[in-house]
Amino acid sequence: MQILYAHNILFCMTFSSGSTYQQVRQALQSNSPTSLPGREEHLSRIHAFLHDHLIAGSSGTLYISGPPGTGKTACLSKIMELPEFKSGYKIVNVNCTSMKSSGSIYARIAQELALKVSKQTEKICLASIERYLASNHKMILLVLDEIDQLDSRKQSVLYTVFEWPSAPNSKLVLIGIANALDLTDRILPRLQARLDLRPELLHFAPYTKLEIVSILTERLKQSGVSAMFPSVALELLSGKIASTCGDVRRALDIGRRVIELAEVRNQTVPLQPTVDHASNTSSPRKSPRKNPDAGCVALKEVMAVLNSVYGTSQSFVTDSDESFPLQQKVLVSTLLLILKKGHNKDVTVGKLHEVYCRICKKKNILSVDQAEFISLCQLVETRGILKVQGRKETRLSRVCLQWDEEEVCAALKDKQLLASILNDTSCL
Amino acid sequence: MSLPCREKEFENIYRFIEGKILDGAGGCMYISGVPGTGKTATVQEVVRSLQEAVSRRDIPDFKFIELNGMWLTEPRQAYVQLLNALTGQTVTAEQAQQLLERRFSRTAHRRITTLLLVDELDLLWTRRQDVVYNLLDWPTKAASRLVVLTIANTMDLPERLLMGRVTSRLGLTRVTFHPYTHKQLQEIVMARLRGLQAFDPDAIQLVARKVAAVSGDARRALDICRRATEFAEGDAEGSDGTVAMQHVDQALAEMIASTKVQVIRYCSKMEQLFLQAVASEIQRTGVEETVFDKVYIQLRTLCVFDGYAVPSVTESLGICARLGSCRLLLTEHSRADMHQRVLLNVSSDDLYYALKVL
């Protein structure tokens, strides 16, 4: 009994009271936030749109576009939580990635509207939805997330859905969400022909630096751990994100990783997976709580994470220089040689292998045979350096270099070998 | 620990999952690396250590589910497998998806963290990428408590294959497993042989260097060592029974020897002459692709030179088809008859090498 009790206390101590780091990490989770700084205007526009249509009892269409991680779905779900709309509308919220094919959306909508259908076929479901829309019904709010997934050959599904609001007697507000700015103009040109079908557009621009800073500070302030992240570090992080993609998920992700890095730095006890933890109740996780100032994030940690993310694509350069096998180096150098000095830039695997064999013979390296060579090509391909196209006849498939020469040089870390191969055109 | 040289990666993954379990949060991690670098083994080891920690009551309990792209007949079966592992229900893919969606969006107080390992992520790729999207979208929901570890070979798979919105959800927590260097391979083999004096250390080094120069694949290195041991076993009567340099050499030679050279050597005389004719036609024109009738002219000349009876066109077509069926030549469909295009499927160096020795 005593032991059990002690265990319980230990349990509570370890799990419920998190360290400061844990609080910061939780603050930077990329799930839906409670407040959306920098999106007030969008929020009020969506609110006004829904409000007006609810009051007037009229139908309407809104198309929301914007790159990933700019708060489209978050804004909308926040507004749908409002009691005014929750009671006023019958809300149907569908994420279109969950559909098997574009046609099965009808069955899903019919199910959400609790319509009785005799069979789950596309035609019958569509007919019953249309019958429902024609009858006297409550206002419907139909939200289709990632609407570009409903793409079909003649766009019949998208056209049908976008035509519902203009059907007589229907009281349906349609909100579509996707990444493309011009989806409605590009794949649905016929909507422009009729004025009543034309959707209202709302674009979510990528977050600016200031907005990202305010989002992060807000989140940190809510958990009361804003001291952990100095404002300089926040500015650096936000500036970098804003200048590349403005994706807030990414900013939060990087923030979390910076915290993890800082935590590792402050943990004096190295992790030993097989060491028995049961005896020491004061786990290393808690020690930084005694002096919270020491644990805050340093600028160099932010830089380290940013460099690993936004550095060149070959992150393995940082590791030990021997991690690139010799034969693969020769292969890549051979490809460079053919592309730079050869007459025919159309390189097949067979041709590459022949030149490679000649170079190997010259350099006194044991060359591998064709079958092995093909698997070698595939190994290099997984690094993203080259691409083998046309898989049917491996000997005839083409090899394309995906990186430019400087990147390759940096990755090989063996200028001598590369130069000696490149200067020797007799092998061609 | 049974995984030498992967301590850093181990710690990285361990800390990630441990943090997520302690926080009660969800998240994704992408693990890449070429085959045989210990990706799956490391993750399994991490899970085992975490389960030990659970049994010591250091961290809350969690549920581990493993999915492998290779096990699934179709990407959408992933939903069925996942739901089955979670609740034991067996339903269709569509229903499974809906049930999972509902399960992960709804808050449940007594839910424990689910750790999902998706091996061979690239096999779950579909044109609409809905399966990958959903698997990576659930962890972002606050209530899901789902941690997804994804494994694939390609280093830049998220950028190359996946859409922007999927990459955005996958996040940037990535671990790359590099090919083993010869020192690491040596250490791995030594670790396996601890306590045994059966192997010559130099022999191990030779294997390690050979493998590290080509692929850095640990499975390969162990394979070669095993084969060398078999050779040593074969002539154990004479020597003291240890695996020495010559056994490793023998095993390596067996691995490296080209099967195609062997096949060419065992071809009939006429088939060899035909291959030679193709090669000289290629040399004459400088183009890799030739036509059968041109090759036939060469073949006739070669036969006359060597004093063989010239085979008829029909016979030569038969030879061509036989060589095509064992893939020494690549031939067009035989419907084209005399005008079918013919290509050599071995390097001409290999061909000359094989023919010269005769």
Residues B279, B240: one domain?
A: no
Q: How confident is the model at residue A32 (pLDDT cuts 50, 70, 90)?
A: low
Classified by CATH at the fold level, domain A40-203 comes out as Rossmann fold (3.40.50)
Write the pLDDT tens digit of every residue in B191-244.
888 888 778 888 899 999 988 888 888 998 999 999 888 888 887 665 667 788
pLDDT of residue A276: 42
For chain B, give the mean pLDDT: 87
Residues 6+ apart with CB under 8 A from A119: none
pLDDT at position A292 is 45
pLDDT for B254 = 79
DSSP letters along A226-276, please?
GGGS-HHHHHHHHHHHHHHT--HHHHHHHHHHHHHHHHHHH--SPP-TTS-
Interface membership of B1 toward A (CB under 8 Å): yes
Show the domain range for B55.
7-177
pLDDT-derived band at B62, boundaries 50, 70, 90: very high
| Nearest CB to A277 within list B56, B168, B172 | B56
Inter-chain residue contact A368 with B168, CB threshold 8 Å: no
* Nearest by CB: B347 against A68, A353, A384: A353
Task: Note whether B29 and B56 are same-domain residues.
Answer: yes
Q: Which of A102, A272, A382, A413 to mutate to test the interface with B (most CBs of B within 10 A)?
A: A382
pLDDT at A287 over 50: no
Instruction: Give the pLDDT of residue B302.
Output: 92
Beta-carbon contacts of A110 under 8 Å, excluding residues fewer than 6 positions away, are A117, A125, A128, A129
Residue numbers of B between 73 and 102 with CB closer than 8 Å to A: 76, 93-94, 97-98, 101
Can you tell me the distance from the alpha carbon of A365 to that of A270, in angstroms, rounded to the nearest whole number? 42
Residue B267: left if φ>0, alpha if ψ -120 to 50, beta else—which one?
beta
- Our measurement of the distance from residue B95's CA atom to the centroid of its chain's CA atoms, rounded to an integer in Å, reads 34
pLDDT at B313: 92
Question: What is the 8-class DSSP label of residue B90?
Answer: -
CATH number for the domain that contains residue B295: 1.10.10.10
The per-residue pLDDT for range A200-259, each reduced to its tens digit, is 899 999 999 999 999 888 888 887 777 788 888 889 889 988 988 888 888 888 888 888
Indicate the residue among B203, B236, B257 that finishes a domain.
B257
Q: Are A165 and A60 in contact (CB under 8 A)?
A: yes
Mean pLDDT score, B258-269? 85
Per-residue pLDDT, A331: 92
Tens of pLDDT, residue by residue over B21-60, are 888 888 899 999 888 888 999 999 999 999 999 999 888 9
Q: Whole-angstrom Cα distance, residue B290 to residue B194? A: 57
Using CB atoms, pick whichever of A22, A325, A350 lies closest to residue B214: A325
Same domain, B87 and B136: yes
* Architecture field, domain A326-427: Orthogonal Bundle (1.10)
Nearest-angstrom CA–CA distance, A378 and A372: 10
Mean pLDDT of A189-203: 83
Residue with tokens 């609110």: A47
Q: Report whether pLDDT(A11) > 80.
A: no
pLDDT of residue B106: 84
Average pLDDT of the residues of chain A: 80
Q: Are residues B200 and B322 in the same domain?
A: no
Looking at the fold, whether B195 and B169 belong to one and the same domain comes out as no
Q: Calculate mean pLDDT across residues A249-270.
A: 78
* CA–CA min distance A304, chain B (Å): 13
pLDDT at B336: 81
Termini Cα distance of chain B: 54
Q: Is B2 part of any domain?
A: no
B101, B128, B213: residue with CB nearest A325 = B213
Judged by CB atoms closer than 8 Å, whether chains meet at B58 and A324 is answered as: no
Q: Is B263 on the interface with A (CB under 8 A)?
A: no
Nearest Cβ partner of B347 from A99, A274, A357? A357
- Predicted confidence band of residue A334 (pLDDT cuts 50, 70, 90): very high
pLDDT of residue B256: 67
Contacts of residue B11 in chain A, CB cutoff 8 Å? 271
In the three-class reduction of DSSP (H, G, I as helix; E, B as strand; rest coil), residue A401 is classed as strand
Q: Cα distance from A200 to chain B (closest Cα, Å)?
A: 23
- Pick from A2-6, A326-330, B176-180: least confident: A2-6
CB of A312 within 8 A of CB of A413? Answer: no
- Find the closest chain A residue to B212 by CA distance: A325
Q: How many CB atoms lie within 10 A of CB B109?
A: 5
Helix (H) or strand (E) holding B30: strand B27-33
pLDDT at residue number A279: 42
Q: Is B105 in the A-facing interface, judged by CB distances under 8 Å?
A: no
B158 with B29, same domain? yes
Q: What is the pTM of this model?
A: 0.79
| Span A158-178, average pLDDT | 89
Question: Domain total for chain B?
Answer: 3
pLDDT at B7 over 80: yes
Angstrom distance (rounded) from CA B83 to CA B99: 8
Interchain contact, B15 vs A260, CB within 8 Å: yes
Q: What φ, ψ does residue A398 adopt, rounded to 5°? A: -85, 150
Q: Does any CB of chain A come closer than 8 Å to the CB of residue B160?
A: yes
Q: Give mean pLDDT, residues B7-30.
A: 88
Same domain? For B148 and B35 the reply is yes
Distances (CA, A) of A95 to A26, A80, A121: 26, 15, 20
Q: What is the pLDDT of residue A295?
A: 64
Final residue belonging to a domain, choices B257, B279, B302: B257
> Is B171 part of the contact surface with chain A (CB cutoff 8 Å)?
yes
Closest residue to A10, CB basis, from B57, B142, B172: B57
Residue B168 lies in a domain: yes
Please name the residues between 330 and 359 in chain A that touch chain B, using a CB distance below 8 Å.
Answer: 348, 350-351, 353-354, 357
Residue B1 falls within a domain, yes or no?
A: no
B193 and B173 in a common domain: no
- Nearest CA-CA distance, residue B179 and chain A, Å: 6
Task: Mark whether B18 and B158 lie in a shared domain.
Answer: yes
Amino acid at B55: S
Residue B79, pLDDT score: 93
The CATH number that applies at residue B26 is 3.40.50.300
Judged against a pLDDT cut of 90, whether residue B295 lies above it is answered with yes
In whole angstroms, what is the distance from residue B243 CA to residue B227 CA? 10
Least confident of A406-410, B17-21, B248-252: A406-410
pLDDT tens digits for B137-169? Answer: 898 887 888 999 999 988 888 888 888 888 888
Q: Where are the domains of chain A?
A: 40-203, 208-310, 326-427
For residues B26 and B77, membership in a common domain is answered with: yes
Domain boundary among B149, B177, B205: B177
Give residue A4's pLDDT band: very low, low, confident or very high (50, 70, 90): very low
Same domain? B285 vs B348: yes
Q: Which of A81-90, B23-32, B331-340 has the lowest mean pLDDT?
A: B331-340
DSSP annotation of A342: -
Q: What is the mean pLDDT of residues A24-51?
A: 83
Task: Tell whether B233 and B173 lie within a shared domain.
Answer: no
Q: What is the pLDDT of residue A18?
A: 55
Check residue A62 and give its pLDDT.
92
Tell me what ipTM this predicted complex has: 0.80
CA distance A58 to chain B (A): 31
Contact A149 B130 (CB under 8 A): yes
Grade residue A1 by pLDDT with cuts at 50, 70 and 90.
very low
pLDDT of A311: 59
Spatial distance between the Cα atoms of B89 and B103, rounded to a whole number of angstroms: 13
